[in-house]
Structure 1
Amino acid sequence: MAGLVLTFTGLAGPYWPVVIAGLYGAGALIAPPERPAPPGFPSPSERLAEIRADFGELGGYLADVDLPPAAAARLTELTELLAALLEPGWVAEALARDPEGVHAVSRTVRQDVPEAVDAFVRTRWWTRLTPGTESPERHLERQLGLLHEEAGRLASALRDAEQRRQESHTRYLEDRRQ
């Protein structure tokens, strides 16, 4: 713009193309460079939606597996807790704000539960061929119990975070009153 003003006012004289080109070049050097767009990683809500879909697929797999009653009861407790954590709503939003929690639920749904159940099914077959070894049912029950404890700790941590949030808001309102 300054080059056009200099040209039309006659101050650039016969050198007006050089003045305009020079000012344009100076502007191009001063201007910030174009920055590349950041990568489009999935948002926490999108990640939870993917985990929900995988959890549904896991439920179909678990429905086809024949488990002993004690292990089936432990598995039901675990899947109910995971379903409550993944249910859309404020709980899932609280979980989405905790990347470690999202990772723990993802690992439980995508890796730990399928591995525990698959190992049980495979080991149960081998145990029939070699009786007298430790029962695979006991291992499965212990594994599911440990996974339930881990999910319970996550739920407790989310509850504690919400409780701290509530207490913080109470303190804020009390401080504002003074």
Structure 2
Amino acid sequence: MPRPRGAAPVAYALTFTGLAGAYWPVVIAGLYGAGALIAPPTRPPAPEFPDASSRLETLREYPAEVDLPPGAAGRLVELTDLLDGLLAPGWVSEALATDPEGVHALARFVHQDIPESVDTFVRTRWWTRVAPGSEPPERHLKRQLDLLHREAEGPATGLCEAETRRRRTHTRYLEDRGL
């Protein structure tokens, strides 16, 4: 049996003490509904990362359980795609493995920053119903995801610049050999 939410216990108390009178069904339904509107909605649990190989996939699935605004959902897809490209097995992840700061930043994105951004959005979203006129949490989520995307582009840009320098160096090497 589901646990009564909000003002339902008050409605039951009014009914059993006889204060609701003949209108007891209306009192119970009204107070139960009011309590359900005021109480925060249930939210999905924070993601758990069972092993290293499923971390990014878990991160992709977690926000799918939450109703994100379209702009934020699109930015989150872009961010997870960028992280997926950086963490996919191959030369990029091998090159990134030599940069401890980059590895730390990516681990922080996956384990802390993105789940925290989505979780705080879910926790504060319902407050806009209770406190109209406050700054919408959608704006903060979009801004947070923009900042994280900009920061995640740093390691990608660094790898691109390193490969560009490597290509130019090899070209000069070949030119100096007279080929």
Q: Smaller-chain TM-score range?
A: 0.5 to 0.7
Alignment match, 1:138: 139
Query: How do 1:1-40 residues align onto structure 2 when only pairs under 5 Å count?
Result: none
- Using the alignment, how far apart are the partners of 2:100 and 2:133 within structure 1? 44
Q: How many angstroms apart in 1 are the aligned matches of 2:119 and 2:96?
A: 28
Equivalent position amino acid for 2:69 in 1 = P
Q: What CA deviation, in whole Å up to 9, does each residue of 1:112-151 have, x standing for no partner?
A: 0000000000010222211110010000000000111111
- 1:96-111 aligned at under 5 Å gives the runs 96-111=97-112
Matched residues in 2 for 1:101 and 1:175: separation? 34
Q: What is the distance in 2 between the residues matched to 1:166 and 1:94?
A: 15
Give the equivalent residue in structure 1 for 2:169.
Answer: 168
Give 1 or 2: higher helix fraction: 1
Question: Which residue does 1:122 correspond to in 2?
Answer: 123
CA distance in 1, matches of 2:172, 2:118: 47
Aligned equivalents of 2:94 and 2:65: distance in 1?
Answer: 31
Report deviation, 1:97: 1.9
Question: C-alpha distance in 2, partners of 1:95/1:73?
Answer: 26
Find the aligned partners of 1:77 and 1:84 in 2 and give their Cα distance: 11
How many pairs does the alignment contain? 129
- Given residue 70 of structure 2, which amino acid in structure 1 is its aligned partner? P
Give me the whole-angstrom Cα distance separating, in 2, the residues matched to 1:84 and 1:114: 19
How far the C-alpha of 1:54 sits from its partner, in A, is: 1.6
Structure 2 counterpart of 1:122, one-letter code: R
Distance 1:164 1:99 in 2: 20
| One-letter identity of the residue aligned with 1:86 | L
Equivalents in 2 of 1:92, 1:175: separation in Å? 32
Alpha-carbon distance, 1:98 to partner? 1.6
3-state SS, counterpart of residue 68 of structure 2: coil
Shift of 1:174: 3.0
Aligned residue in 2 for 1:74? 75
Unaligned runs of 5+ in 2: 1-50
Secondary structure, aligned partner of 1:65: coil
Compute the TM-score of the two structures, normalised by the length of structure 2. Answer: 0.67
Structure 1 residues 21-54: Cα deviation after superposition (integer angstroms, max 9, x where no partner):
xxxxxxxxxxxxxxxxxxxxxxxxxxxx82x432
Q: Following the alignment from structure 1 to structure 2, what is the Cα–Cα distance between the partners of residues 111 and 173?
A: 46
**Whole-angstrom CA distance in 1 between matches of 2:129 and 2:55:** 32
Find the aligned partners of 1:114 and 1:140 in 2 and give their Cα distance.
11
CA distance, structure 1, for counterparts of residue 120 and residue 60 of structure 2:
17
